[in-house]
Amino acid sequence: MTIETDVLIVGAGPAGLATAIELGTRGVRAIVVERNDRSGTAPRAKTTNVRTRTHLRRWGIADRLAAEAPFGVDYPNTMVFVTRLGGPELTRFPNAFNASPEKSPLYPEHGQWIPQYTLEKVLVAKARALESVEIRYTTTFIGADQDAEKVTAVLEHGGATYEVQARYLIGADGARSAIRDLIGAKMEGRYGLTHAYNIIFRAPGMAKAHAHGPAAIYWQMSKDGFSAVGPMDRNDTWFFAPSGVPEGHRISDEDAAKMIRERTGIDTPIEILSADTWVASEFLADRYAQGRILLAGDACHLHPPAGGYGMNMGVGDGVDLGWKIAATLQGWGGPDLLATYETERRPVHRAVIDEAIANFQIYTAPIPPEIEEDTPEGAAVRQRLGEAIQASKGREFNTLGTVLGLSYEGSPLISNEPGERPAHDSQNYVPTARPGSLAPHAWLPDGRSLYDLFGQGFSLVVADGADEAQVARATKQAAALGVPLKLVRPQGVPVAELYEADMALVRPDQHVAWRGDAWDDAALPRATGRQDAVAG
């Protein structure tokens, strides 16, 4: 049996599902296959950041994810540093990762603390609602060959094998990617920055057994070492992650419960739901593609868990791949478009990995032995450590400059603009419409977001008083090239001030490709990878 589709996606995690949704909303046929059923109690990530939630808004499911918040969207996303959960507090960071639901002028959707398996449930429901998308679980990728026109993959389900022929194959199959091995890509970086347990447990009454109030994570720094503990889901479900675990070591349920009681300093009944080990590493693939086969998510980049970047970067990969593949298949994307996936995403991945490494240093630093002493010396140590944490960890929990501020400037799709690009600040985001940057956000008088006006293809944001002859020139060229272009004339938004131009060309992923007062005939061909059509 041979099945034909446009895109075969191996891996039904957030990166694969984001790719499928981005394709499916444009009517592109996609089959997603996953070797297991994605069940289990241990989430790989818990932070859905403001950028990912904005993509969910585009897909019409941001509110659905908010409704799934196990403790409600008003639950404080506070990070509290303590010696032990039952011990003294060192310092705290409120509203980490911009998760407070109040409206912000900088973005349309707040971050959200939610288990990855819940996010995946929402993504799967959206993908399955799209007519052109199909998801197949317990299906194993065996191998694939490609030629100039297609990829032929062999899959196995229930002991039987069959073929799928696709125009493209996406490897979103995780850190041990078979697709990465298939194309001969190599991961470069460092393995084993630390080893830790990931223990999910049920502990009725744990939330009221300490004096620190509600928070997302309680970071414990005691004489026993560094660990993190916090509420994860309904029914008194918690997670516990101690570092410094011997590589490959396994732990019994009895020993896991004992460790939790010891590290938290709270003697309470504990039911272990799952216990496994994980390894923090930093890796980047030396290449992301070979012909019609491309990599996404953990298959091409791995981040230490400091900043909540990994899963969110995978969703961003899916968005970038999705619109570029759809444009290529539908004929309005040129021959150079898809090659820019690696050109644009790899520098972003490198910058984010470097940021995560910088954030990760405290988790491997030695803990003063006096930290728990009930003496003036112990109190002084705790105060100094709290001040040091406050000075050094703000960049991990306040990440808006990295989440929204990284640019694709320098990409062959982005129009060059004279002058130096603004200096990058990992914590503070200053909106700019300089080409390559995320389009500046604004709220409309009726409560909608400016982003809600953007189209599935390109959007031309037009200021009041713009030269209508120039606007007409842009729309005429888009029609001639077959590029979907939506005119956006937001009432009540000072576009000329916000975008520092009368017109701005915004890509499907909400990044600015060009801006100016007079239309540039090279801007749209360049932005769609049609260098052969660039004037001059």
**DSSP characters over 283-335:** EEES-SEETTEEE-GGGTEE--SSSS-HHHHHHHHHHHHHHHHHHHHHTSS-T
Pairing of strands 140-146, 133-136: unpaired
Host H or E run for residue 273: strand 271-285
Residue 250: is it exposed, middle or buried by C-beta count within 10 angstroms (0-12/13-18/19+)? exposed
User: Do residues 527 and 514 touch, judged by C-beta distance below 8 A?
Assistant: yes
Return the percent helix, strand and coil in the chain, to nearest 5: 35, 25, 40
Q: Is 112 helix (H, G, I), strand (E, B) or coil?
A: strand
Q: Where are the alpha helices (DSSP H) in 200-252?
A: none
Taking CA atoms, 218 is separated from 79, 83, 352, 443, in Å, by: 6, 9, 24, 35
Q: Where are the alpha helices (DSSP H) in 102-164?
A: 116-129
Angstrom distance (rounded) from CA 160 to CA 137:
14
- Position 536 scores a pLDDT of 41
Backbone angles phi, psi at 37, to 5 degrees: -100, 10
Amino acid at 381: V
- List of residues 6+ apart from 266 with CB closer than 8 A: 84, 85, 86, 206, 209, 210
Helices and strands in the chain: count of H runs, count of E runs? 13, 22
Angstrom distance (rounded) from CA 511 to CA 493:
18
Closest CA to 78 of 89, 93, 97: 93
Q: Please give the structure tokens belonging to residue 2.
A: 């041979």
- List of residues 6+ apart from 386 with CB closer than 8 A: 81, 89, 90, 91
Angstrom distance (rounded) from CA 13 to CA 22:
14
Q: Please give the structure tokens belonging to residue 204.
A: 């009725």
- End-to-end CA distance of the chain, in Å? 50
What pLDDT digit, counting tens, does each position of 283-300 carry?
Answer: 999 999 999 999 999 999
User: Do residues 322 and 338 touch, judged by C-beta distance below 8 A?
Assistant: no
Closest CA to 24 of 123, 133, 124, 171: 133
- List of residues 6+ apart from 259 with CB closer than 8 A: 197, 199, 240, 242, 251
b/e code 473-511 from CB counts within 10 Å (16+ = b) = ebeebbeebebbbbebebeebebbebbebbbbbbbbbbb
Backbone angles phi, psi at 179, to 5 degrees: -70, -40
Q: Low-confidence residues of the chain, pLDDT below 50?
A: 535-536
Phi-psi region of 244 (alpha: psi -120 to 50; beta: other; left: phi over 0): left
Angle between helices 50-58 and 310-330 (to 10 degrees): 30
- List of residues 6+ apart from 129 with CB closer than 8 A: none
The dihedral built from the CA positions of residue 223, 227, 231 and 235, taken in this order, carries a sign that is negative
Q: Please give the structure tokens belonging to residue 97.
A: 């990762």
Q: Where are the alpha helices (DSSP H) in 414-519?
A: 468-481, 495-498
What pLDDT digit, counting tens, does each position of 401-450 carry?
Answer: 999 999 999 999 999 999 988 888 999 999 999 999 999 999 999 999 99
Q: Please give the structure tokens belonging to residue 121.
A: 């449930």
- List of residues 6+ apart from 67 with CB closer than 8 A: none
Q: E-assigned strands of 40-186?
A: 47-48, 79-82, 89-93, 112-113, 133-136, 140-146, 151-157, 160-171
Q: Which domains does the chain possess?
A: 2-70+113-188+282-358 (3.50.50.60), 412-533 (3.40.30.120)
